[in-house]
Structure 1
Amino acid sequence: MGVSMRDVAAAASVSVGTVSNVLNAPGKVSPSTVARVQAAIDQLGFVRNDAARQLRAGRSRCVGMVVLDVGNPFFTDIARAAEQRAADHDLTVLLGTSDDDESREQAYLDTFDEQRVFGLLVSPIGDDLRRFDSLRRRGTPVILVDRDAGGSPFDSVAVDDIAGGRLAVSHLCEIGRRRIVFIGGPPGLRQVADRRRGAQSAVDGVDGATLEVVHTTTLSVLAGREAGTALLARAPGERPDAVFCANDLLAIGVLQAFTMLGGDIGVPDDIAIIGYDDIDFARSAVVPLSSIRQPTTRIGVTAVDLLISAANDPAEHHDPSNLVFQPELVARASTLG
């Protein structure tokens, strides 16, 4: 049987209330008593029962975070920023990845709900937000990350992906490219759909420019390599002169295909490539990759700030905040040579 607070109190010759104060409000106890109680804790190997404590408090000091793909450095950078901000508030972030699988996403939501987390930071897969709303109504704050939830009861922090797609393809058109391919998927992901819409709006404003869409099942390097290989298999006159990828991982895969299999095809002389997110690997690619930069640190920090605000404001009275940052073009050798 585990060591209890009563055992610690007996070993330190103090009351159970004093042990509780040492653990939760040490400023109320004299330094000598704190030292004596801490020595008893160390000697006996006492471990605080956080499960019981959170039952009394109604919530834990943990924040559940679910992202689409923890293997994507974009989400890793957001999670790192969120973790650092949460630590400022004595909160711990528990991170899970849905892998674009709604059943996996739901499993994480159920687990975090059972653990009575302080709140949730979620990059949702689809547009059905009813399961998040049920959590919110029961008192668990839910912040949508990398998704604009304007018009809904949820706080959110996102980047204007339509503007980002427009920025990427406008850049390609400005350097003289007209046969542009957009590579991305799954098409049901809001971020992919918005980036495609922005790309199309840029093409619509330029005479002679066209946009072909190539769907992928994932947003991975491997999917990009497969798409790039398929483009190379076309007759020379049927190939694009530019490729816009829905994220940098896809763009890196396309670049790998062109580098390994492209023969005399040069980047950007024959085919320019631009990605999205501006992850660290973009600038260190064999041909430094142009990309659309998202402010990952600001996204992660803002998400936690919104969560703290929502946790201190009853759901029925909370006026949601929906913050949308603007993306930035970072032009490198894959489009500028």
Structure 2
Amino acid sequence: MPAGIKDVAAQAGVAVGTVSNYLNHPELLSPTMAQRVADAIDEVGFVPSSAGRQLRLGVSSVIGYLASDIGNPHFGEVAASVQNRAAQLGLSVFLADPQHDEEREATYLDAFAQHHVRGLLVASHHQVEARLALLRRRGTPSVLVGQHAASPEQPSVSIDEVAGGRLAIEHLAEVGCRRVAFVGGPHSIVQVAARRAGAETAARERGIAFEAFDVAERSVSAGRGIGEAIASRPPHERPDGVFAVNDLLALGMLRTLTAEGIRVPGDIALIGYDDNEFAEASLIPISSVSRRHREVGEIVVDALFETIQGRPLAAVHQQLMPVLVPRESTLGRRRA
């Protein structure tokens, strides 16, 4: 049977209430007494129940993080940053991945609230603000991640995705591309639509021919399919530059295009989005637009922590500028 609080008290030779104070109100004990109890805990192998303590005190050291697509390396890198920053602030993170399922997403949000987490970080592709407002009224604050909130009461941290789309097309133009293609979807996702809008505007301003390939999912497999469609065209009908809405699509396209004997970037320059580690490590390193995942993870945790503490945020809606990360898949075109 696992050791309990009475076993600790007996080992330390103190009252059960003293052990309880050590666990819940350590400031009430002298350093000598606190060390005595700590030694007894180690000796008997007692594991405190944080859940029980949270129920008694009405507080929790846990925050919930609802990720939109943990299978995408970008979101995995954001999650790692979130956990690191939360640990620095004495918080633990419960992670949930609804896998694009809106009903499952709602279930997770309700579960987080029922477990009395201190707050929520929510990265969603759905219309979630009404539900977050309800949870906020019930005492669970939140920060919307990766999407600019419509409500002035809903803190959010996002990337200027329109600017990101512009960056990608402007870079393709600078390396000499005159016929560019946008590969992405579904356009019901706000971030995808914003990147396309920025890309189309930049192409129009530069006098560059623009076309779009719609995909149902942003995966390596979908990228390979688009690569096959482009490779099947006569060379003079192919785009000479491609902007993939994420790096997974770009990786799939790179694999197919090179297998078909199409030179990247000599024949087609290729740029992705997210700047994940696989793009950099690819056989031909892929240019990308960085969403600054490490910074985003730290900023969202800090914003939630300030909200939990009841302190006003300097900016309710924080929007970061994306950063162009040029690599061989576009830069090599200048030498081709």
Q: TM-score, normalised by structure 2?
A: 0.91
> What residue identity is the alignment partner of 1:332?
R
**1:153, 1:320 within 8 Å by CA — same for their partners in 2?**
no
Q: Which residue of 2 aligns with 1:214?
A: 213
What does residue 69 of structure 1 align with?
69
CA distance in 2, matches of 1:320, 1:206: 34
- Cα offset, 1:31, TM superposition: 4.3
Work out the CA distance in 1 between the residues paired with 2:75 and 2:284. Answer: 23
Decide whether the 8 Å contact of 2:129 with 2:149 is kept in 1. no
Q: Distance in 2 between matches of 1:149 and 1:88?
A: 27
Corresponding letter in the other structure for 2:308: A
> Is the CA contact (8 Å cut-off) linking 2:160 and 2:320 kept in structure 1?
yes
Q: Which runs of 5+ in 2 are unaligned?
A: none
Aligned residues: 332
Contact 1:154 1:320 in 2 (8 A): no
Q: Which residue of 2 aligns with 1:328?
A: 323
Q: Does structure 1 conserve the Cα–Cα contact (< 8 Å) formed by 2:153 and 2:316?
A: no
Moved more, 84-93 or 229-238: 229-238
Give me the whole-angstrom Cα distance separating, in 2, the residues matched to 1:94 and 1:275: 30
Per-residue Cα deviation, 1:295-322 (whole angstroms, up to 9, x for no partner): 21111111011001111228xx888611
**TM-aligned CA deviation for residue 22 of structure 1:** 2.1
1:224 is matched with 223
Alignment of 1:52-201 (within 5 A): 52-201=52-201
Code of the residue aligned with 1:92 in structure 2: it is S
- Contact residue 303 and residue 313 of structure 2 kept, 8 A: no
100-109 or 194-203, which moves further after superposition?
Answer: 100-109
Contact 1:101–1:125 (CA under 8 A) maintained in structure 2: no
Task: Please give the secondary structure, in 2, of the residue aligned with 1:94.
Answer: strand
Cα distance in 2 for partners of 1:21, 1:293 equals: 48
Q: What is the CA-CA distance between 1:30 and the residue it aligns to?
A: 3.7
User: Alignment RMSD, CA only?
Assistant: 2.1
Distance in 2 between residues matched to 1:38 and 1:128, nearest whole Å: 44
Structure 2 SS opposite 1:109: helix
Percent identity reads 45
Matched, 1:236 2:231: no
Structure 1: any 5+ residue segments left out of the alignment? none
State the distance in 2 between where 1:192 and 1:58 align. 41
1:295 corresponding residue in structure 2? 292
How far 1:332 moved relative to its partner? 1.5
**One-letter code of the match for 1:111?**
A
Contact 1:166 1:199 in 2 (8 A): yes
Does 1:274 find its partner at 2:271?
yes
CA distance in 2, matches of 1:172, 1:193: 19
SS in 2 for 1:205: helix
Q: Distance in 1 between matches of 2:300 and 2:291?
A: 14
Normalising by the residue count of structure 1, what TM-score does the alignment of the two structures yield?
A: 0.91
Residues 322 and 102 of structure 1: CA distance in aligned 2, closer, same or farther (over 3 Å): same
**Could you tell me how far apart the structure 1 residues matched to 2:109 and 2:12 are?**
42
Work out the CA distance in 1 between the residues paired with 2:148 and 2:257: 35
Alignment of 1:43-58 (within 5 A): 43-58=43-58
| Aligned pairs (5 A) from 1:9-20 | 9-20=9-20
SS at match of 2:143: strand
Distance 1:211 1:100 in 2: 29
State the distance in 2 between where 1:38 and 1:310 align.
33
